[in-house]
Structure 1
Amino acid sequence: MSTIESRPVHTREHGNTLVITIDRPRARNAVNAAVAHDLAEAVQRLDEQPELRVGVLTGAGGVFSAGMDLKAAANGESATVEGGGFAGITEAEPAKPLVAAVEGFAMGGGFELALACDVVVAGSGARFALPEVRRGLIAGGGGAVRLPQRIPYHLAMELLLTGETITARRAAELGVVNHTVEDGSAESEALELAARISANAPLAVTAAKRVARASTRQSEQQAFTAQRDELRALLASEDFAEGARAFAEHRSPRWAAR
């Protein structure tokens, strides 16, 4: 395992997983310009390094993120990154899977960071909210766009229009959270899940994510056409041949990502 630290965001490699930690606990891991740019760089690193297969996004000090740093914003700082949106992630659509490991509060932009991930693990004491309407705003970092796609419309609108906080248990009931675990163990559970994802063919994993993400913006016919193109490429890959051989030989595959 190797460790690389950068200003308010720390990254470390755990096998094939890149753990990305927002480390501003005194500010409840609120996102300012430095955090946004560091997160954008971390996601870029995840996509560019072939040995990395999955990212785990979490926060230090028992808090995921309180969202936008309002004090920094009042001083003219922007928490958006060109091409990446809020926090450098919410509009970036990284190619590789991201798992959110949520402890404590995921408020406003913090909730939107979790929604930008592909899988969410939460400690039982975690809390989620999109309170922007209480401050004269909307959940502009993806909350108003993504939440109605993830859960039934009327339930999404209740959260968006009231700004009320929900528990991890309720978030799991709604389908926003995949797994709830004991407080303090969200990251370890996320790492275990990331290892299970990493065990699969990397080309197939990223193709599955592309198809699933694109399907929310396409007609069903367009989605099936795109899926056929992905399948055609996968069938011609070395990894598909290796997967078939490994199955026939009763052994674990050795993926080449080719």
Structure 2
Amino acid sequence: MTELFAAGRAAVSAAAGRVDDLLAALPVPARRAPEQRAAAAAAHEEARALRTRFLAAHADDVYAELTADRTRYLRIEELVEAAAAAFPGLVPDAVRLKEERGREQAAKEGHEIDQGIFLRAVLRSPVAGPHLLDAMLRPTRRALDLLPEFRRTGRVAMEAVVLERRDGAAHLTMCRDDRLNAEDERQVEDMETAVDLALLDPDVRVGVLRGGEMSHPRYRGRRVFSAGINLKMLHSGDIPLVGFLLRRELGYISKIVRGVLTDRPGAWHTPTVEKPWVAVVDGFAIGGGAQLLYVFDHVIAAADSYVSLPAAKEGIIPGAGNFRLGRCGGPRLSRQVILHGRRLHASEPDARCVLDEVCEPDALDAAAERAVADLSAPAVLVNRRMINLAEEPPDAFRAYMAEFALQQALRLYGEDVITKVGRFAGKGTS
């Protein structure tokens, strides 16, 4: 095994070196002639097939080396960085990623696909995969640093999210008012920090998520939940696979479902700290905004709002929406929404598969207060835990995210996606 592992490791490094030599002799992707594009694609194909075979045989060995036999908990961004250093050619290093980050999506080489290959193999493993998911459930350092301030003042204001504790509820207000709460790395960072703080504060019983008032010209002075992924940033190359698309799913959204993993008294019977969650939808929940609703325990929406997953328009995979929407509305509705772009208006009966309560806009505050009171009952936590276990078994979630890691990476570099986001970028966010 050791000899095979060493030989495979060397072969991956050598194949990556050959690709690097070829690419160094070619113009940047946007300036390549058809035959040059074909040569680059063939070289990538050969190296990626080799990486896939190596990881199919040795993913657990790689992960064990990177995590000191699973005694270290590395988040996905730390894991790929460690893999780049320890296994040259397996995933792109920081220098290469920084160079890519400075380019528009259409001008990139697509090195993130190699991250997708690596993370799919790790998440597929019944040994390494659960350990990585546990690493992503641990509280972030930023949240731990801010926790004393939040416990003392009951408020933390960040660029994308304002967190306030009121009467036992943690109110998270998304406040990217100039961009309709369209998500980017900053929003993911701030959301995970806010979710961690809400979960870690023992004075919080329930979390409530809502969008703030907008300064965007089309919605000035009105609340909006979320416009989904920031397509302008996707077009400019600023929506990374690891730092946004995977961190979002495995970080704060997963923590809303499963809680935050901490070492504390009582962890022997309940390893995670969980809270019930309420979402309040004003205006619309598009794309990533809609995906969030599937993990909340109670969703309240304004009567004039709507929900949509425009995956067919954007060309990418709507996070774990494909995994979760079917259980809410059934397979037919899931296909109508995801494959055909059907909008669910709050006023129509089918929307009730996603929305628990529909109110006039001026009644949303009172409805949220009632939901917080209902979800504060002592038996809610254990029952939501058992519901989530039945509806979303960890191994099923892990299997979905393993395939998502690679397929979303491939979609990011699809010609149709690059064309569409370039067109949408001129209009605004999704």
- The reply to whether TM is greater than 0.5 is yes
Cα pair distance change 1:172/1:183, threshold 3 Å = farther
Q: Supply the distance in 2 between the matched residues of 1:76 and 1:173 (Cα, whole angstroms).
A: 33
* SS of residue in 1 equivalent to 2:254: coil
1:72 to 2:233 alignment: yes
Contact preservation (8 Å) 1:99, 1:119: yes
* 1:17 equivalent in structure 2: 169
Structure with the higher strand share, 1 or 2: 1
Quote the offset at 1:89 in angstroms.
2.8
Quote the offset at 1:63 in angstroms.
0.6
Q: Supply the distance in 2 between the matched residues of 1:195 and 1:209 (Cα, whole angstroms).
A: 15
Quote the offset at 1:83 in angstroms.
5.7
Quote the offset at 1:155 in angstroms.
1.5
Q: Supply the distance in 2 between the matched residues of 1:194 and 1:207 (Cα, whole angstroms).
A: 16
* 2:312 equivalent in structure 1: 133
Quote the offset at 1:151 in angstroms.
1.3
Cα pair distance change 1:60/1:172, threshold 3 Å = farther
Q: What RMSD over aligned residues (CA atoms) do the two structures have, in Å?
A: 2.1
Q: Where in structure 1 do 4 or more consecutive aligned residues deviate above 3 Å?
A: 81-84, 171-174
Q: Which runs of 5+ in 1 are unaligned?
A: 219-258
Contact preservation (8 Å) 1:13, 1:19: yes
* 1:49 equivalent in structure 2: 201
Query: What is the aligned counterpart of 1:85 among 237, 241, 249?
Result: 249
Quote the offset at 1:161 in angstroms.
1.1
* SS of residue in 2 equivalent to 1:63: coil
Quote the offset at 1:212 in angstroms.
0.3
Q: Supply the distance in 1 between the matched residues of 2:375 and 2:315 (Cα, whole angstroms).
A: 40
Query: What is the aligned counterpart of 1:60 among 205, 212, 220?
Result: 212
Cα pair distance change 1:83/1:31, threshold 3 Å = closer
2:252 alignment partner AA: I
* 2:380 equivalent in structure 1: 205
Q: Supply the distance in 2 between the matched residues of 1:40 and 1:111 (Cα, whole angstroms).
A: 17
Contact preservation (8 Å) 2:344, 2:351: no
CA deviation string 1:203-249 (max 9, x = no partner): x322111100000245xxxxxxxxxxxxxxxxxxxxxxxxxxxxxxx
Map 1:171-186 to 2 at 5 A.
173-186=351-364
Quote the offset at 1:36 in angstroms.
0.6
1:116 to 2:295 alignment: yes
Quote the offset at 1:172 in angstroms.
6.0
Cα pair distance change 1:35/1:188, threshold 3 Å = farther
Contact preservation (8 Å) 2:181, 2:228: yes
Q: Supply the distance in 2 between the matched residues of 1:83 and 1:134 (Cα, whole angstroms).
A: 23
* SS of residue in 2 equivalent to 1:38: helix
1:19 alignment partner AA: H
1:5 alignment partner AA: A
1:167 alignment partner AA: H
* SS of residue in 1 equivalent to 2:253: coil
Q: Supply the distance in 2 between the matched residues of 1:119 and 1:47 (Cα, whole angstroms).
A: 17
Q: Supply the distance in 1 between the matched residues of 2:351 and 2:161 (Cα, whole angstroms).
A: 31
Q: Supply the distance in 2 between the matched residues of 1:136 and 1:81 (Cα, whole angstroms).
A: 14
Quote the offset at 1:150 in angstroms.
0.9
2:199 alignment partner AA: D
Query: What is the aligned counterpart of 1:30 among 182, 194, 210?
Result: 182
Quote the offset at 1:184 in angstroms.
4.3
Q: Aligned pair count?
A: 213
* 1:246 equivalent in structure 2: none
* 1:170 equivalent in structure 2: 348
Q: Say which one has the larger Rg.
A: 2
Quote the offset at 1:42 in angstroms.
1.1
1:155 to 2:333 alignment: yes
Contact preservation (8 Å) 1:115, 1:142: no
Contact preservation (8 Å) 2:306, 2:343: yes
Q: Supply the distance in 2 between the matched residues of 1:63 and 1:56 (Cα, whole angstroms).
A: 15
Q: Supply the distance in 2 between the matched residues of 1:84 and 1:32 (Cα, whole angstroms).
A: 10
Contact preservation (8 Å) 1:90, 1:112: no
Structure with the higher helix share, 1 or 2: 2
Task: Indicate the percent of aligned positions where both proteins have the same amino acid.
Answer: 27
Quote the offset at 1:138 in angstroms.
2.4
Contact preservation (8 Å) 1:16, 1:195: no
1:89 alignment partner AA: Y
Contact preservation (8 Å) 1:89, 1:113: no
